[in-house]
Structure 1
Amino acid sequence: MVVETNRYGNTEYRNGKIFRSAVMDGFELLLATWHFSDNDDPSLENDRLRKLSPLIRNLVQKYQDVYIPDQKLCIDETIVPFRGRLRFRQYMKNKKLKFGIKAYKLCCDGGYMYNLQVYCGSDCVQGGQASANVVFSLMAGLFSSGRQLYTDNYYTSVSLATELLDKTTHLIGTLTSNRKYNPKEVVQKKLKAKEVFAQENEAGIVVLMLSTVHKDDLKQVKQRGGKTDKPEVVVDYNQAKTFIDILDQIKSYSHCLLRGTKWYRKLAIKFLLGSEVVNAHLVYKEVTNDKISMTEV
């Protein structure tokens, strides 16, 4: 029998097979006792996220303590893969990862995640429209400052835009044609190529791309085939939606989400070694003016 030990003395090779060392046994012991909340805390008794709520609150508090968002913000959702039994597990047929836990995130320019919220089931949603509740929850503390919020058609509605205007906050996003209060003249309009038709109500809301900021102005952009004119609202919307894409791209460089049976551990790893690392990386670059890449961290 051949036995080899590396210079750290924590890996053994016996007849070509790797045996777990004391270091790995210690790691698995820590993993088995890895918890984020007090099981005896009465305030968490009816909380479906009680296994993770203290960690999420702490992370969000840290995110917001060290960063002041710019004018433009973007809201979108993400899916953490999970196929086990869980009351609020989601099935999304249009996603590559169809089963998982859905989390909403509010991101700033550059990919910094400022706030997050985990979806716990429709019966946990308070009165009112569920998508609007997500917006007001994630934007808490950021109203009355003239910020611009970019959303997709799940969140965007004329009624939400009106409510946000009352809070001195603008809404820009794609809009589903059958949403309530949509003007029929715009929804039913037949457009030709490169034609733009816009309508604005007395509150300054423009649809079918909904915006409380833009008019029907065009903006020249460069494409592979040359320069072309696009509605300014579309150009700005596409730019703001990259906030989420940048976050997901940077996270993919340090991906470490492994298979497991505990849903709260998967979420914890997703937040701690995903969004938390990205946020720390972005803050470090901003403070030190060091252009270090994510792969060098």
Structure 2
Amino acid sequence: MRAFLCMQIMFGIRGRPRLWMYWSEDKRFHDAFISSIMTINRFKNISRYFHCRDTANAPTRGQQGFDPLFKVRNIINTTQATFRAHFQAQRELSVDEAMVGFKGRLSFKQYMPAKPTKWGIKVWTVSDARLGYCLGYDVYTGKASRVDPRRPLGFEVVDELCRPHFMKGHHVYVDRFFNSVDLATHLLLHNTYLCGTILQNRKGLPPFVKLKLKTRGELRQMQRGNLVATSYRDKRTITLISTNQVMGPAADGRPHPLIDYNRFMGGVDKLDQQQSYYPVGRAGKKWWRYLVWHLISASIYNAFVVWKYSPHDYDIPNSYDLMMFTADVAEGLLNGFTSRKLPGRKATRATPVRPETIRHHVIEKISGRKKQCILCIMERKKTPKGYPVETSFHCKFCKVALCKRICFGKYHETGIAIVQNSQ
């Protein structure tokens, strides 16, 4: 299984548009590393039966205890705990949604036209704003999974994701979907500060935020306690609220909340960008595998961040980047494994079929499905797509499947038939 996961990770580095190309005899497509681990048939068999949890006794929809994420719940719980345990978050955090691309049938599939990945599984994520390290996440499965439906969705998401980081003085950056005056007040009660854009029609905002600003660089602000409301005209009017900034413009004329928002809001986008470089796994029909590959990819990036920023007693080469680290992780999983058979003893020297028996060796069409050609197996021949060579004919006397045009004659002329029939 470790070798199987190694291959899934390496697919993101050694990309091929079609699976068979990795095992192809064509040198333009062949991948020596992938094909040396296991055969394409074994890989497909493992992939067919690959699961993360036994679903035989899982509660179905409508039953008590039903969990739409049951198939991957153990993976979610493990990664959630691991992400928090191995990294001390810096002061600035960012909360945003990530999309795991999937277009198949799924009850909680989301459509977000403004995102690069428009269809898929929505994953609310909190990350370190500077490094993009994933600190926690929550897979959105619809309204039925809400903790408290009375609260706005954005409020609930930020509250649940940031709860493990309360009372530590963190600064949380969010966009206008999540932001509200109630959220800023709620976080402030837990010694957590907020900054982000906000919709102009949110409750509790001063009236001036609804006024149109016409001149570029025009700034209006108002403060109540720790809460600062800001309206600023750039290419368009931008409205923000913050509890971690002072009033007044910076040296370049922009308000301080806008400067920090632009600087620290992109933590989740940075995580998504890094994951997109070397995506784990290949396309398929099962939604939960896309989520597993996403979590493995996030785990690899998190491990890279922890390793890179931990103390070392040696110099790290500048050329050692995420790609090299990902390849080393895959090689560590492999640990020298190969399912390829080792070379056996050399075959006994064969002699041709005797002339007096040649009349018994007649080619005949097989009744039923095709079989693999025995000579092609011995010579390790494959189709251009890397599959075993199959034939509809066999030798009536030897009872072995053989290709009609070349292999039948070659099989008997070289004496392989004598050796095969004598074993």
Give the distance between the partners of 2:24 and 2:64, measured in 1 at CA.
44
**Structure 2 vs 1, CA of residues 179 and 30 (structure 1 numbering), >3 Å: closer, same or farther?**
same
**Counterpart among 25, 28, 39 of residue 23 in structure 1:** 39
C-alpha deviation, 1:135, in angstroms: 0.8
Matched, 1:217 2:238: no
Give the distance between the partners of 2:270 and 2:24, measured in 1 at CA.
41
Partner of 2:69: 49
Matched, 1:269 2:290: no
C-alpha deviation, 1:134, in angstroms: 0.7
**Structure 2 vs 1, CA of residues 96 and 141 (structure 1 numbering), >3 Å: closer, same or farther?**
closer
Partner of 1:124: 145
Partner of 2:25: 13
Matched, 1:172 2:195: yes
Partner of 2:308: 285
Alpha-carbon contact 1:206-1:214 (below 8 Å) kept? no
Matched, 1:62 2:82: yes
Coordinate RMSD, CA, aligned: 2.5
Partner of 2:105: 85
What are the superposed Cα offsets for residues 26-74 of structure 1, whole Å, 9 maximum, x if unpaired? Answer: 2222222222223236699411111111101100111111111111100
Q: What is the letter of the counterpart of residue 111 of structure 1?
A: G
Give the distance between the partners of 2:115 and 2:23, measured in 1 at CA.
40
Q: What is the letter of the counterpart of residue 88 of structure 1?
A: F
Give the distance between the partners of 1:88 and 1:26, measured in 2 at CA.
33
Give the distance between the partners of 1:90 and 1:17, measured in 2 at CA.
36
Indicate the structure with greater strand content: 1
Matched, 1:141 2:164: yes
C-alpha deviation, 1:287, in angstroms: 1.6
**Structure 2 vs 1, CA of residues 85 and 214 (structure 1 numbering), >3 Å: closer, same or farther?**
same
C-alpha deviation, 1:190, in angstroms: 3.0
Give the distance between the partners of 1:202 and 1:232, measured in 2 at CA.
17
Q: How many residues align?
A: 278
C-alpha deviation, 1:209, in angstroms: 0.8
**Aligned-residue identity in percent:** 28
Matched, 1:186 2:209: yes
**Counterpart among 47, 53, 75 of residue 95 in structure 2:** 75
Alpha-carbon contact 2:181-2:204 (below 8 Å) kept? yes
**Structure 2 vs 1, CA of residues 288 and 17 (structure 1 numbering), >3 Å: closer, same or farther?**
closer
* TM-score (normalised: structure 2): 0.61
Give the distance between the partners of 2:87 and 2:64, measured in 1 at CA.
29
Partner of 1:115: 136
Matched, 1:154 2:166: no
* Unmatched tracts of structure 1, length 5 or more: 1-9, 221-227
Which has the higher mean CA deviation after the structures are superposed, 54-63 or 242-251? Answer: 242-251
Matched, 1:240 2:264: yes
SS at match of 2:244: coil
**Structure 2 vs 1, CA of residues 111 and 173 (structure 1 numbering), >3 Å: closer, same or farther?**
same
Alpha-carbon contact 1:206-1:212 (below 8 Å) kept? no
* Unmatched tracts of structure 2, length 5 or more: 1-21, 231-238, 326-423
SS at match of 1:236: helix
Give the distance between the partners of 2:212 and 2:192, measured in 1 at CA.
29
Give the distance between the partners of 1:278 and 1:107, measured in 2 at CA.
12
Give the distance between the partners of 2:65 and 2:286, measured in 1 at CA.
19
C-alpha deviation, 1:185, in angstroms: 2.3
Partner of 1:224: none
Q: Which has the larger radius of gyration?
A: 2
Alpha-carbon contact 2:226-2:244 (below 8 Å) kept? no
**Structure 2 vs 1, CA of residues 218 and 46 (structure 1 numbering), >3 Å: closer, same or farther?**
same
Higher relative contact order (CA closer than 8 Å, sequence separation 6+) = 2
**Counterpart among 30, 45, 48 of residue 32 in structure 1:** 48
**Structure 2 vs 1, CA of residues 11 and 201 (structure 1 numbering), >3 Å: closer, same or farther?**
closer
Which has the higher mean CA deviation after the structures are superposed, 72-81 or 228-237? Answer: 228-237
What are the superposed Cα offsets for residues 102-137 of structure 1, whole Å, 9 maximum, x if unpaired? Answer: 101101021100001100012221321111111111
What are the superposed Cα offsets for residues 205-245 of structure 1, whole Å, 9 maximum, x if unpaired? Answer: 4343110011223223xxxxxxx332111111111023223
